[in-house]
């Protein structure tokens, strides 16, 4: 680790804007596909259950390689991995837009996931090592989270515009110029990776292989279960094998001198419970967008652009919560209580949203639930990542960020697979397009209530977080603090 003098306020501000822009790209890519799913399904011959693979393939690639990506950030340099990730993102997005079949699109999404597995921990690690723990870091995380929320909003709107006027392929092509712009800016704004001092050790190849294979199989089994059957080799078999490999990974990490994931990382009293909260939260969030999209389009008959516009209230409120409400609550009540309240509110918001879904309903019947879900969900998102990075050494921020995001991806895949299966259980057909509105709504409401209840239960993991972490937020500007470049 090399400690440097504080950069100018302008330089620190530019760096934060760029890192926030990277999170914006990730969020756009996450949300832009949802509105386009019906058109993608028709164009490439997906059925109702296999269509989730447009989302889930990304989760498999992302979740399976996050630990590898996080350690690569710590060992090979934050800037190098950040730039590489954007290059991968651009190429995979281009391939997705050019896809002529379901298999090609799913493969491109998996490679996009690999790019995300490098970009996310690199971005979060750069923030954690640039801004000191406490008020500055929490404000920076608020800006990072707000950019993510804005990306979700832009993704929903752009998904509708592109699907309506240029075709679904542009929901992938749009990532190419965004990634190139960020890559060029990164070459100018991000500092060169500092040379490592002392023994760097090996890269722990056995651990990397076991972690990647174990996480990939676990996520693959979760997203395959509904279609292949939970008792099938593809479903249960993949989950069991993935868990066995992850147990083997832990044994290897315990024995090696230079582990991919130092087991001492799990002793952090903020990181471990935060990972549990993240898992449950993302399971709820991952399904919520699918449930809302399905209600707006097949049930209410919204066009793609109308559905995209319908997401704006949700994301505008989320951005406000991410950038303003969340950081202020952390400063006043601490991460522990803020996360507990936020998770309960998120669960209640989801349940309220699906309660407004009726055959004779409208967008206005779900809007109160959407607003509450967006507010509580935004507070929860920024708080859980602030808590996850608290008390972690700079040289381990990459792997800590990867662990937190692995929980996020596994939770998203699990929630999407399980709750989509619940929602489809009432259809009495293999296609949403041929199901009656009443059957669709019954499934959506059942899935939403189950997801909301699980989120409320998951809130109690937040009470395991150390009471005095993270540090409070003040009105000090994030760009006015010294930085440590690791």
CATH architecture classification, 8-203+260-474: Up-down Bundle (1.20)
Position 435 scores a pLDDT of: 66
CA angle, 251 then 224 then 103, to 5°: 110
- Copy the structure tokens of residue 368: 């109160």
| Dihedral of the alpha carbons of 417, 423, 426, 427, in degrees to the nearest 10 | -80
pLDDT (tens digit, 9 = 90+) per residue, 140-165? 888 887 887 788 778 877 888 888 88
Helix (H, G, I), strand (E, B) or coil at 30: helix
Asked whether residue 375 carries a pLDDT value surpassing 60, the answer given is yes
- How does residue 219 score in pLDDT terms, banded at 50, 70 and 90? confident
Position 352 scores a pLDDT of: 93
Position 433 scores a pLDDT of: 58
Number of residues written out for the chain: 486
Position 7 scores a pLDDT of: 46
Query: d(Cα 179, Cα 87) in Å, to the nearest integer?
Result: 7
From residue 403, alpha-carbon distances to 102, 163, 283, 374 in Å are 30, 35, 16, 25
Query: d(Cα 464, Cα 270) in Å, to the nearest integer?
Result: 8
Position 115 scores a pLDDT of: 92
Whole-model pTM? 0.74
Among the listed residues 114, 101, 54, 44, the one whose alpha carbon sits nearest the alpha carbon of residue 289: 54
- How does residue 217 score in pLDDT terms, banded at 50, 70 and 90? confident
Average pLDDT, integer, range 109-128: 88
Position 357 scores a pLDDT of: 92
Query: d(Cα 437, Cα 298) in Å, to the nearest integer?
Result: 8
Average pLDDT, integer, range 66-94: 88
226 vs 51: which has the higher pLDDT = 51
pLDDT (tens digit, 9 = 90+) per residue, 236-293? 898 899 999 989 988 988 888 778 777 777 777 788 888 899 999 988 887 888 888 8
84 vs 404: which has the higher pLDDT = 84
Position 49 scores a pLDDT of: 63
Instruction: Give the lowest-confidence range in 142-156, 297-311, 393-407, 425-439.
Output: 425-439
Position 285 scores a pLDDT of: 82
pLDDT (tens digit, 9 = 90+) per residue, 187-212? 988 888 777 654 445 667 788 788 88
State the average pLDDT for the chain: 81
Asked whether residue 394 carries a pLDDT value surpassing 50, the answer given is yes
166 contact partners, CB below 8 Å, separation of at least 6: none
Average pLDDT, integer, range 22-28: 87
Position 260 scores a pLDDT of: 76
Helix (H, G, I), strand (E, B) or coil at 193: coil
Q: Is 342 exposed, middle or buried (0-12, 13-18, 19+ CB in 10 A)?
A: buried
Query: d(Cα 51, Cα 71) in Å, to the nearest integer?
Result: 32
Q: Which of 3-7, 301-305, 347-351 has the largest mean confidence?
A: 347-351
From residue 469, alpha-carbon distances to 137, 262, 278 in Å are 13, 22, 17
Helix (H, G, I), strand (E, B) or coil at 130: helix
């Amino acid at each position: 680790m090399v400690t440097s003098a504080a950069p100018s306020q302008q330089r620190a501000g530019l760096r934060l804007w760029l890192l926030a822009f990277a999170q914006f790209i990730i969020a756009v890519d996450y949300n832009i596909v949802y509105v386009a799913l019906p058109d993608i399904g028709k164009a490439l011959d997906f059925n109702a259950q296999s269509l989730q693979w447009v989302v889930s393939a990304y989760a498999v690639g992302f979740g399976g390689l996050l630990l590898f990506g996080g350690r690569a950030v710590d060992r090979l340099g934050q800037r190098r991995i950040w730039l590489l990730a954007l290059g991968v993102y651009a190429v995979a997005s281009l391939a997705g837009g050019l896809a002529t079949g379901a298999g090609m699109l799913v493969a491109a999404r998996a490679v996009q996931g690999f790019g995300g597995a490098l970009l996310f921990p690199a971005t979060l690690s750069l923030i954690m090592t640039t801004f000191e723990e406490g008020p500055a870091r929490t404000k920076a995380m608020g800006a990072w989270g707000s950019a993510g929320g804005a990306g979700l909003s832009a993704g929903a709107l752009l998904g509708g515009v592109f699907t309506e006027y240029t075709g679904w392929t542009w929901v992938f092509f749009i990532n190419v110029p965004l990634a190139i712009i960020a890559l060029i800016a990164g070459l100018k704004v991000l500092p060169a990776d500092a040379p490592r001092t002392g023994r760097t050790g090996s890269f722990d190849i056995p651990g990397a292989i076991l972690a990647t294979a174990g996480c990939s199989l676990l996520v693959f089994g979760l997203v395959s279960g509904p279609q292949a059957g939970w008792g099938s080799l593809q479903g249960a078999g993949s989950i069991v094998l993935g868990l066995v490999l992850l147990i083997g990974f832990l044994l290897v990490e315990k024995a090696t001198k230079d582990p991919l994931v130092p087991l001492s990382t799990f002793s952090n009293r903020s990181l471990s419970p935060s990972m549990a909260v993240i898992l449950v939260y993302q399971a709820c969030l991952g399904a919520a967008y699918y449930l809302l999209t399905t209600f707006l389009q097949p049930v209410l008959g919204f066009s793609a652009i109308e559905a995209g516009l319908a997401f704006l209230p949700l994301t505008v409120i989320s951005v406000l919560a991410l950038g303003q409400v969340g950081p202020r609550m952390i400063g006043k009540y601490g991460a522990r209580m803020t996360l507990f309240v936020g998770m309960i509110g998120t669960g209640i918001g989801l349940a309220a949203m699906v309660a407004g879904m009726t055959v004779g309903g409208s967008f206005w019947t779900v809007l109160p639930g959407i607003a509450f879900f967006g507010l509580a969900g935004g507070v929860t998102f920024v708080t859980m990542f602030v808590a996850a990075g608290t008390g972690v050494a700079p040289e381990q921020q990459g792997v800590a960020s990867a662990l937190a995001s692995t929980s996020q991806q596994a939770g998203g895949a699990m929630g999407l697979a399980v709750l989509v299966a619940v929602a489809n259980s009432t259809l009495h057909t293999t296609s949403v397009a041929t199901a009656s509105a009443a059957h669709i709504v019954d499934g959506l409401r059942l899935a939403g209530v189950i997801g909301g209840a699980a989120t409320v239960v998951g809130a109690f993991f937040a009470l395991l977080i150390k009471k005095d972490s993270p540090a409070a937020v003040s009105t000090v500007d994030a760009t006015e603090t010294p930085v440590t470049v690791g």
